[in-house]
Each structure stands twice: as C-alpha cells, then as structure tokens.
Amino acid sequence: MHDAGRLPVLVGIGQVRGNWERTVAGAREPLRLILDALCAAAADACSEAGCRLVRDLDVLDTVHVASWSYADLASVLAERLGARPRHRGGVPVGGHRPAELFDLAAARIAAGESRVAAVVGGEAQASVAALARAGVDPAGDLGWSAAPGGPAEFDPGEFGSPDMRAAGLVLPTRVYPMFENALTHRLGQTPDEGLAWSAALYAAFSRVAAANPVAWNPRERSAAEIADVTPDNRMICEPYPLAMNAMPLVDQAAAVVLTSLAAAREYGVPEEKIVYVWGGAGAIDAADVLQRPSFADSAALASVLDRCLAAGGLAADELDAIDIDSCFPVVPKLAIRHLGLSATAVPSVTGGHSAFGGPLSSYSLHALVAAAGRLRRGARTALVHANGGYLTRQHAVLLGRDPHPRGYIGEPEPVVTAGPAPRVVAPVEGEAVVETATVEHAHEAAAVRAFLVARTADGARFAAQTAPGDAASALTLSLRGDAAGREVVGRQVRVARRDSHVVVDPA
C-alpha cells in the first residue's frame, strides 16, 4: 500500500496566452500572466477549493523570466495570493528548469516535506517588443513592476566558455545547427535528406499546435512551407530557416500544482483530475561544447531518457504521450534515434517551440500541462523532456494515470555525464578537416559569416569564426549556393588566421 500522505500527484494545470495581437492595450506583464495561469491551475484542481489550495502553498518555485526582471518573483506572487510558502525559489535561466523543479517538488512531497507545491513560469516578450516599438515605458506608463523592472540581464558566461566566445559560438541559433550537421553526417544522410526530416517533423508538430488553444502559431504548415527559404522564412544559420528555430517572441505562461494524494482528497480534487507523478532524472554534460567527445550525440539526453524508463519499468513504445524539447530539430531527432522510435514519430504534445511557441525557460511547463491533459483523457503514461543550454542540462519526468507500483521513483539531482574531452587548440593555419560548421545569413539572405569546428592532422580540435562579410570563406563552408546538396562535415579546407578571425578556402 502506498502512503497517501507521501504520494505526489499533479492536481492542477493552467496556462494562458496573452496579447496575441501584439497591441499596447493588450500588454500584460509576466507577473500578471503567471498569476492568471496559477489561478487557472488552482481552479482546475477544484473550483470550490481552488483559492484555499493556493493559499495553502508551502512550496512556490518560479522559472526564470527573461522578458522582465524581478528581485524575488516568488515572494511577490505569494503576497498577491495571500500565501505563505516556507520555500520560495527562483532559478537561473535554463530550459531544463521546469522539469527539474517539478521533479524536486514531487520529491519533497514524497519525503514528507511538503503537501502543496506549485511551479510557475511565463514570458511577455511579444508585448515587451510591441511596447518598445510604440515608445511605451512598461513601468512608467503601464505600471509594470519596477523592483527592479526592465528586461532581465544575462551573465555573458551563461552563453559559453572563453573558447566558445572567441569562436562566436555564443548563441543557440549558431550552436544547434552545428549539432544538426554533425548528426546528419553521422546518420549517413545528405543535407537535403536531413532537411526533409526536419521539415516533416515540424510540419507534424504544427498539426499538434493547430489544435492547442494557447499555441502562438496555431496553423498547420506543410513541410515545404517550413523548409523553403523565402523572405518570410529566411535562412538563419544553415541548415535551419526561421521556421525551424524556436519562437521566443510570445506572451505565454503556465502553472502546475502538486499535492500529496492525501491532500488532494482532503481538498476534494475529483479523481479524474489526479495524475500521478512517477519521478524523473537529470543529467549535465560539459558546459563547453568544445570539451564534448562529439557533436553528433548527447550523453546527457541519453542518460535521462534511459534512467527514466528504467526506473519506471517501461519501454519507449509503452509511452502513450511524449514531449521532447524542440528548440531546434536536432533535439527531437536525437531522442527519436536513441529511443528507437520511427522516423515519423511525433514526440510533442504542445506543438513544439516553433509552432506552439518558445517562452524561453518555461516551455516545458506547457508540455507538463499538455501531458497531464492527455492522461486525463485516457492515456496511461507520459514522458516530458526538458533541455537547457546547448544540449547541456537535461531533465525528464514520467507521469502516469495510475500510481507507480513503487510510488515516487525519481532522482531529481542531476548526474554528470561529461565524457573524455578532445585536445582543444588555438586555430591553426594549414589544412584541416571540418568536424562541423554552420553559416549565418543576413536578413537579405546573404551568407555573412561562418563558424567552424575542425580537426588537425593529429586529431586536435579547434574552433574559429570567419570575419563578418567574408562571403568567400562563408561559401566554402556553406550547404547552399555552388555547394548545394554537398555536406560540409568531412570537407578538407585550408585555414589562414587573420587577427581574431580565419579565412577558409577549399583545400
């Protein structure tokens, strides 16, 4: 028999989409969106006891908000709700955080340290951008929070190591395409075949988003619309046009409320609303991508998937619902390959970062909401995966319509999966073999610069970037133009150093 006082369950789910029209009048700050989502989650659990459920919170964790800054968002929320949680937490930026915080909340309940917990997050980046275009000050003109207020600041160290920054590998739009190109080569696919898989995957995701009431782009798109480079779907970094990149300019918020099973029954939560939290697993890879053994896989991703399924006693094909973080196509591709799923699998319950929307660190909260909805409608098991950094930090959780035979089976503390690092050297002059690369394009579709990771004759790795505007070097590493259809990985090139940049020519 399970101890109902220590069996964690998900009882309330809430999410909102705000200001889809991007108007000044419709703008609401993230605090307001998050409050609305949390009140919706409480009402979802039990309309009669919803308000009391929120007031009785003993744990309130907030996911990092990037579109507006707060000194202590959890305390502000608690004050607005009339709650006095013993634990009020906020975490740094990271897409893995919602799943990690959700798992930690369940672990506290399983340990008898908590009875009612909530994890919340949200963004209003679309409104912030609209207000900036209109010359409206959110704090001064609209009364948004001014303690501290303004868009959140980031530590440059969060975007990469000194070696990564020197090579320009400091933005997700640049780094994830390098994983994609390496994986395409590993699988023996041509660039066109890799692009076709990405487009088909995201077209399928768009069909899921089209049925999601809080999706930012609820329109079904064809694979051709997603793959074809047009003025409205410009190339960002090869091979990903805009439609294959996450969409962060959204106003979306989500909240989940967990309790013990005993507390759920005390509050009168209907049995059909209760979803059992089986538990999860976390893993951390080397923060410096240049210190990883390969760009074609992710040891941390493999670890969390394997450990979740092993602890749950499940095979991948026994999962009724799966959501794999999809900030870029390479992430669900890696998961599909590792889990042994069909290439036509659709591992999303939201519609993915591009079609549903990518509210930065809080996306997987929406996945938890959608997965819970699937379970309430008849699914038996669900897995939600969350990805942070550059395939750096991973967390996954399992949910069930029924309790797991062993109760809570999670391991919320992440394990380190960093493998043997290659020898990394400064950019060399002479011949080298491309390990992976990408080319960044300007708004007018021109190739403007390239980013290169290469191997020397003795196997050492180096990373470098070409100078902005060096079209000849960019075209040497391009998948487009005269090199259309030819993969970049494995090319022999000649490298020359020019101050902090390199010039790249065919060998």
491 token code pair: 């090319």
CA contacts within 13 A on the Cβ side of 165: 8
Short-list 96, 109, 52, CA closest to 388? 96
Q: What is the pLDDT of residue 443?
A: 82
Who contacts 183 (Cβ-Cβ below 8 Å, separation ≥6)? 194, 295, 296, 297, 330, 333, 334
How far is Cα 433 from Cα 252, in angstroms, rounded to an integer? 44
**pTM higher than the cut 0.95:** yes
Contact 247/354 with Cβ under 8 angstroms? yes
Q: Nearest-5° angle of CA 388, CA 338, CA 309? A: 80
Short-list 259, 297, 298, CA closest to 393? 298
DSSP 180: H
Contact 164/290 with Cβ under 8 angstroms? yes
How far is Cα 5 from Cα 24, in angstroms, rounded to an integer? 47
Summarised one tens digit per residue, pLDDT across range 258-276 is: 999 999 999 999 999 999 9
Task: Look up the CATH superfamily of 8-145+248-416.
Answer: Thiolase/Chalcone synthase (3.40.47.10)
pLDDT < 70 stretches in the chain: 1, 49-50, 156-157, 481-484
Task: Classify 430-506 by CATH class.
Answer: mainly beta
CA contacts within 13 A on the Cβ side of 381: 17
Who contacts 51 (Cβ-Cβ below 8 Å, separation ≥6)? 42
How far is Cα 467 from Cα 41, in angstroms, rounded to an integer? 50
Any idea where the domains of the chain sit in the sequence? 8-145+248-416, 430-506
The amino acid sitting at 114 is S
How far is Cα 35 from Cα 137, in angstroms, rounded to an integer? 22
Q: Which regions of 26-115 does DSSP assign to beta strands (E)?
A: 59-62, 87-90
Q: What is the pLDDT of residue 1?
A: 63
How far is Cα 106 from Cα 74, in angstroms, rounded to an integer? 18
462 forms beta bridges with 454
3 state DSSP class of 233: strand
Contact 437/178 with Cβ under 8 angstroms? yes
Who contacts 21 (Cβ-Cβ below 8 Å, separation ≥6)? none
Q: What is the pLDDT of residue 49?
A: 65
Q: Is the dihedral of CA 300, 171, 386, 148 positive or negative?
A: positive
The amino acid sitting at 448 is V
Angle between helices 191-210 and 330-339 (to 10 degrees): 90
Who contacts 199 (Cβ-Cβ below 8 Å, separation ≥6)? 223, 224, 226, 227, 244
Contact 459/432 with Cβ under 8 angstroms? no
- Pairing state of beta strands 240-241 and 235-237? antiparallel
385: how many CB neighbours lie within 10 A of its CB?
A: 26
Who contacts 394 (Cβ-Cβ below 8 Å, separation ≥6)? 96, 282, 283, 284, 285, 298, 300, 301, 303, 304, 385, 386, 387, 388, 414
Q: What is the pLDDT of residue 267?
A: 94
21 token code pair: 């029209």
How far is Cα 223 from Cα 212, in angstroms, rounded to an integer? 19
The amino acid sitting at 84 is R
